[in-house]
Structures are given as C-alpha cells and as structure tokens.
Structure 1
Amino acid sequence: MKRFTSSPLQPTPLQPGKAVILATLAMAAGFFAAACQETTPPQPGSSPATGGTGGLKIGSLLPATGDLASIGQPMLDAVPLLVETVNQCGGVNGAPVTLVPNADDQTSPEAGLEAMTRLAEVERVAGVVGSFASSVSTAAIPVAVRNRVMLISPGSTSPVFTERAKKGEFQGYWARTAPPDTYQAQALAKLAKEKGATKASTIVINNDYGVGFEREFVQAFQKAGGTITNANRPTRYDPKATTFDTEVQAAFSGNPDAVAAVLYAETGSLLLKSAFEQGLSKGVQILLTDGVYSPDFPEQVGKTADGKFILVGAMGTVPGADGKALEALKKLWQEKKGRPISAYVPHSWDAAALLVLAAEAAKVNTGEGISSKIRDVANAPGTEVTDVCEALKLIRSGQEINYQGASGNVDIDENGDVVGSYDVWQVTDDGKLEVIGKVSPQ
C-alpha cells in the first residue's frame, strides 16, 4: 500500500544559545508526550514530525555498553560504513546522507527510550537502525510510530513483534533484517533432538527476547516428541541480577539431557559459571543462542582449575548471513576494519541500506516516505541488485529493484519480518566459537 504525504515542516535556523535551550525543552516535551500518548498513532493527513526536503538524516540505536555491548560494538561500525559508501556515489535524493552519532541504548529499555526520543524529537531523524535487544526496541517503537520514524532492527528477534504488527500497532514504521525467534527456537529444538536429547529444560532472561524464545522452543521440542522438565515452572532470571544460584538449581533439576539457555553475555556468563561451580552442568548439553554469540563469551564464563574452558562443547544457533552481497561486504569490511566480519554486521548493513533505498524510491527524506517504500525496494518484483550504489542508480532511472542483501534476500513481509537460515556454532577446546554447520526451522 502506498502512502501520500503532506509537505513536511521545515525547521527555522536557531542561534547557538537558543538551540541548546530549545533542544533541552524539546526533549523534556518529548518525555511528557511519551507518557501521555505512548500508543497514539499518527493522524492521517497530518504533517510528519521528522525528515524533510533537506538531506536524508538517519541514526542508530545500538548497545555500545551494557549486557550486549560485546556483540553490539562491531554493529556500530556497519551503519557509518554504509553511509560513507552511499555518499561516495551521490547520496540520496541529490544530497549527502547525514548520520547522527550512535545513540547508545546501554542494553536498557530506559536508556533506549531516552535515546530514541532524542533521535526522533531533537535530532529529527527519518530512520533509525536499531535496536538490538528486543526489550529496547519495545521501548523505542512507540516513539518511532508517534514521530513517523522508520525503525529497522538488525537483531531484535522476539516473536512478540510479529503479534503486535498483525494487530496494526506499528503503522508500518517497524521492520527487521534478522528473522524472529519463532524460527530460531524451532531450529534450536531441532538441533537438540539431532544431538540425542529427549529431555530438556530452559533458563532464560526475563524479557521479551527470553520469554518469547522459551515459549517457541518448548512448543517445538514437545512437538518433536521431547519432554521439557520445567515446563510447569519455567526458569527466568532478572536481567539486573548478579547471583544465579537458585535459578540454575531450578533449571538443572530433573536430570535434563540438555538445557536451552537464552541469555545475554554479561549476566549469562555469571549464570553458566554458577552452574559449573555447583557441579550441575556436568554431562549436560548446553544449548545457547545469538544473545551470547561473542568471541569474548567463553573467556567471560571462565576456565576450570586445570585451565580448560568451562564452555567447551557448548553449542548454539545464530541467524546466519548468506546473502548475495555478503562476499562484497566481507571484502570491504576487511579492507576498512582490518578484521573478519562478525555476527549481525550484515544485518546492520542491510537495515541501513533499506533506509536509504526506500528514501530514494519515495523521492522524499521522511520516515513516512521510507515506510511507504520499504517493501517495494526489498521485495520482488524488480531488478535483483546487491550493490547499494547500483541500486540507487536504478531507482533514480525509474526502475523497480529487489535488493539482495548481505544477511539474506531481506524479503520483508507485511509484519516487517524476514525468514532466514541459522548457523550452528560450538565452543572449541581453545575457547573459540566455530561455525560447524547450518540448521533450518522444522
């Protein structure tokens, strides 16, 4: 469905002193508005609050600090690299793209809400790449919808977003380049069965990501004939907790063959170390997910008295990147960053790419324009194209495109979801994370 927008409001240039004062007042007003009308959708025919006829302005809302910082930090480099690439080939709608410095969400819904409000109501961006944590995206979405900012997450995988999108809550201002955990949970359950597990338990972080994943994993494992030992009393831990003795005792009771642990890195490392120190994890297959897929994680969990990594043999799943643009991005990443590409970098690149391509297709640098064209540039019909500069060139010439990303084909459905494949990884004897295969949802 195409949208028609009214002319956007143009900001009046301010004197430096007044700009600071008014920016502060704007942020305060934003928080007041968020409290009073958090779920109020934009009114048809009203002027969009963000963007305009000037150059496209976007931002990112990713975790530079907090529980997901070890995974989030490499993602931070993907967005400016995309913007640099686009500006070298002419920008968007005849002008360079402006990237607001990353708004660190600190892996915290409260910090994420504050940062998203600043991006939307002070910086007045048209689109945002973010967030990573599902709990942060949950906090940020109402701000995006209210201000007509297109929010594309490279990693918020909770199934809750699909359910809310089906109810029309997001008004088209939400999408993601990583598939929902509906699929990853099925893939992890399939992996558990392939490894011979007949009884499994779950222990998850108590937020949208953990609880949503838990629900889908339990259903998939039971459907495959397995037994969940703690199905009647799921084990969930407080994201702000610092000790986990009680939780690990509950999760590992009942003699499970495998424990599906849906964690974030900082708290998850403490939890798994506690399970080892209590002697609970011996002989149990530990199954992990993307929330701890960081090269630092085995070191965070620690080593045994004889110097071996506690996590040796632990396995997990992570959304894989198998798009047609992946090899080119790997080459560019190595050239610019001097290191191999890491998890979720392709998804972050694609999220930023979709923002700029949709703005060019809409011929207007607003969130409303981006929202109206996001599926047009991501899906068929159209010329399949992997290079973002070539894609912009085709759009400018009046052609339809079907962007083929680095993370995958990024075909976005009516709920803002994509379907992906999953890499299977394992912790090796030397504490490395090695991809050993792939698994698809059942």
Structure 2
Amino acid sequence: MTKHLLLSGAFGLGLMASALPAAAQSCEIPVGSVLSITGSMAAIGKAIGDAGQLAVDQFNEAGGVAGCNVKYILRDDQGSPNVGVDAAKTLVEIEKAPVILGAIQSGVTMPILTSVSVPGKVVQISCCSSAPTFTQLARDGGTGGYWFRTLPTDRPQGVVMANIAKTKGYKKIAVIHVNSDYGVSLARSFKAAFEKVGGTVSSVTPYNQEQASYRAEVNAAMQGDPDSLFLIAFPADGATALREWISFGGSQNLLLSNSLRADEFVKSVGAQYLTKAEGIDNAQTEGPSVDAFNKAWAAKFGSAPNGPGLHTMYDAAAVALLAMEKAGKPDGTAIRDNIRAITTGDGEVIFPGPDGFKKAKELIKAGKPIRYEGATGPISFDQFGDVTGPYLIWGVGNDGKLTVVDKWDKTRVADAIAEIDK
C-alpha cells in the first residue's frame, strides 16, 4: 500500500492520500485548501479540513481523477487575510493547484478570490463564507465565474432568526457580532428582519477577534436593558464574550449563530447556561445521499458529523473532483465550465462515497450525464455561484449535547423571506 505524506503549513499537518490502483499512482493532481486551523476558528477548522480530506480519500479509492492520484494540500490561514492570500499563492503558483477549497471566514475568502483565484483562473469553492458581497461581486462580473459556495448567503439566516425571536416573544434584542464581513452582514440582515416583524434591536456591537476579554463590548451591549442576545461569533471568542455576558447578569435568552454549533463552545461556556439558547445552522435534506456521508463520517471518525461546515466542505471537494473528472484535466477554466454540468440536469444520480464516485467515473467515460446529490442533498448553483438550502435550529440539552429542535425547509425559508419583503 502506497501512501503520500504531506506537510502543509507551518503547523506541519500530516495528511495521507489513500491507496490507489497502479494506474493512478503514476501522476498526482493537487487540490488546495485554505482553512483556519489555528486561532479562534481552531475548534471547527480542523474538522472542516477532515471533511475535505474524506472526499479526496474516497475519490482516490474510486480510482482518482482522470487516472491520477489527488493530493489534498491543506494550508492554515490562521484567521488572517494576509496569511490566507500567501497560502493560496503558494498553492496556485508553486503547487499548481487548479482548485482552492475555502476559506471559512468571508474576510479571508474575499482577498484570496480577488488576488489569487480570479487572476490565476483557478476555481474557488467555499464551504463556509456566507457574506452577500460575493454575490454582488459575481453580479458585477468580478469573479469571472470561478467562484462557487456550497452554503446559502447570510440573509436567509437573519430572516429565520428574526422569526424565531418573534415566536419566542423577545421584544428587545442586543446583537454582539464578530467584526468581519460575515458578522457585519448577518447582524445587518437580522436587524432589518427583526424590526420588520415588530421587534427592537437595542444595540449592535462589533468585537475584534482573539482578545483576552470582551467586557467593554458586553457592557455596551447591555445598555438599554435588552431581554435577549443574538451572538454572532466563532467558538473561542464567542465563549469568552458569552461567559462575561452571563457573569454581568445578562439574559440567558440567547440566539446563536451557525459558527457556534460546536461541542467546544458548549463546554467552554457551560451547558447549564445554554438550556434556553437556540442557534441556527445549515441543514441537509433527508435522503440517501446525506445518509451516505453521515455513515462514512461516523465510520471514519467515530462520531456523528455535528458541526458547521462538515457537509458543505465535503460537497465543495466532491463537486470540484467530479467537475475535474468530467473536464478530463486539472484546468481551472475547464473545471469551472463543468461544475453545473455535474450538479444539474437529468443525469444519473451520484451519491457520496467510493461506490458513487466510481459509478460517476464510469458514466463520464461512457459519455453519459450525471447529477451529484451530496452530503447536503441536491445542489444547484445559480449564475452567481450561490446555492439555496434548508436550515436546522439547534439547542443544548441538559446533558450538554447538541440537539436539533426544529428544521426549516427551503419552502418555509422562502415564505419567510417573501413575508419580510412585502
């Protein structure tokens, strides 16, 4: 059994490529990924990287891409735009990767897209960047069609959370948000929607990442006697801010963003303080494609795939690999031009996993169409590279475990947005 050991980034992360038939061992195709593995995103970044690795491993098990082994090269952006751009440049200019998966934070993803991916004619697919600025950039022709993401934009999240706040009877909500494209846009979307349904946002307070304390921000947010808090944060900083909010007597009527759906966050804050909290995350439609990923993840890692970005990262990698297989070569423009061909239409349905990818390769070789249904369910990219999707509402049980308390399908989300837009 032949395996390739890669050291990616300063932290020296070892990644292993799966064994392949001899024909696939004679060449390698790099697929780059830029994610936040250290810093405030460390609690979720590594697992998201594992999801991308799983897709690559399974594709290699099915025979690789165009007869070549796929080499997954993961680089740490450390939550810094400058570090992220440097990592992406290395992937494109030195490693010759035709695809970049990432980043997580919109503020890191955007400069990679505009400084590296678009000029280099490299496809970039993000699992986790939801800021609406990407849609506007694509609308203005600034992405060249090389941009895609496998999760919806921020606006639907804001609308859904506003409806939940109204249903729970909250009247005056304080918002604390990470000072990034993601945090600013989600806070703005929530505020507009909550005010439209009759609520009041008492304050909107930004915070900068990786600070030892957020007492000043918490004190500012508590002015005006809010009856609840919407916290838009990443796990490490979010836990620090919320502990201080609670210690200062802040309400435990809590709404939490998708990026806080992590066991590490719950443990750091204390489950006893989160029993009234409800958060949002991207959901998956129920069906065999989702089950295939969930079972594969559990078999590989020994736990259910609970956490932000896992399903969407797997699909980002799978879409890139299938499009590359159909293109027949590791060329960014050719991959771009085949992404919609393998996700829409009346082709034979392909599910996640080695068997599904092997079937896809055989059909593509025979000149037959395929349609990938992934870890998130059916995928359809619009002209700007965006997708729509359902959401789940999560909570924390008395035992400290993350639970799903409700689901919003695409129709329910669309109806809520239509009501806001009246």
Q: What's the TM-score bracket when you normalise by the shorter of the two chains? A: 0.7 to 0.9
Q: Residue 220 and residue 389 in structure 1: after superposition, are their counterparts in 2 closer, same or farther (change >3 A)?
A: farther
Shift of 1:55: 4.5
Aligned positions of 1:412-427 closer than 5 A: 412-427=381-396
Shift of 1:70: 0.9
User: Which of residues 113, 125, 129 in structure 1 aligns to 2:97?
Assistant: 125
User: Which of residues 217, 233, 240 in structure 2 aligns to 1:247?
Assistant: 217
Which secondary structure state, in structure 1, belongs to the residue aligned with residue 313 of structure 2?
helix
Partner of 1:207: 180
CA distance in 1, matches of 2:81, 2:244: 26
Q: Is the 8 A contact 2:239 2:269 kept in 1?
A: yes
Partner of 1:226: 199
User: Which of residues 180, 188, 192 in structure 1 aligns to 2:161?
Assistant: 188
Does 1:88 pair with 2:61?
yes
CA distance in 1, matches of 2:111, 2:104: 12
Q: TM-score, normalised by structure 1?
A: 0.82
Letter of the 1:369 partner, please give it.
A
Q: Deviations over 1:50-72 (max 9, x none)?
A: xxx96432121122211111111
Shift of 1:392: 2.5
User: Which of residues 54, 69, 74 in structure 1 aligns to 2:42?
Assistant: 69
Q: Deviations over 1:296-329 (max 9, x none)?
A: 1122124xxxxx7333321100111226411111
CA distance in 2, matches of 1:296, 1:407: 23
Partner of 1:256: 226
Which secondary structure state, in structure 2, belongs to the residue aligned with residue 125 of structure 1?
coil
Does 1:286 pair with 2:254?
yes
CA distance in 1, matches of 2:276, 2:132: 28
Does 1:312 pair with 2:285?
no
Aligned length: 379
User: Which of residues 264, 267, 274 in structure 2 aligns to 1:296?
Assistant: 264
Letter of the 2:274 partner, please give it.
L
Q: Deviations over 1:102-139 (max 9, x none)?
A: 10112222221121111111111011221111111112
Which secondary structure state, in structure 1, belongs to the residue aligned with residue 273 of structure 2?
coil
Q: TM-score, normalised by structure 2?
A: 0.86
User: Which of residues 363, 376, 380 in structure 2 aligns to 1:407?
Assistant: 376
Shift of 1:267: 1.1
CA distance in 1, matches of 2:191, 2:359: 44
Letter of the 1:272 partner, please give it.
L
Partner of 1:366: 331
Comparing 384-393 with 150-159, greater Cα deviation is found at 384-393
Shift of 1:192: 1.0
Which secondary structure state, in structure 1, belongs to the residue aligned with residue 75 of structure 2?
coil
Task: Name the one with the larger strand percent.
Answer: 2
CA distance in 2, matches of 1:193, 1:399: 49
Q: Deviations over 1:130-185 (max 9, x none)?
A: 11111111121121111111111111111221121111111111111111111111
Partner of 2:296: 332
Shift of 1:206: 0.6
Q: Is the 8 A contact 1:210 1:263 kept in 2?
A: yes
Q: Is the 8 A contact 1:63 1:72 kept in 2?
A: yes
Q: Deviations over 1:333-364 (max 9, x none)?
A: 22222222232221111111111111122222
CA distance in 1, matches of 2:286, 2:103: 21
Percentage of matched positions with identical amino acids? 35
Q: Is the 8 A contact 2:30 2:97 kept in 1?
A: yes
Q: Is the 8 A contact 1:259 1:285 kept in 2?
A: yes
Which secondary structure state, in structure 1, belongs to the residue aligned with residue 268 of structure 2?
helix
Letter of the 1:433 partner, please give it.
L
Letter of the 1:72 partner, please give it.
G
Q: Is the 8 A contact 1:66 1:107 kept in 2?
A: yes
User: Which of residues 404, 407, 415 in structure 2 aligns to 1:438?
Assistant: 407
CA distance in 1, matches of 2:260, 2:67: 41
Letter of the 1:347 partner, please give it.
T
Comparing 199-208 with 331-340, greater Cα deviation is found at 331-340
Q: Is the 8 A contact 1:236 1:247 kept in 2?
A: yes
Runs (5+) with no aligned partner, structure 1: 1-52, 303-307
Q: Is the 8 A contact 1:132 1:156 kept in 2?
A: yes
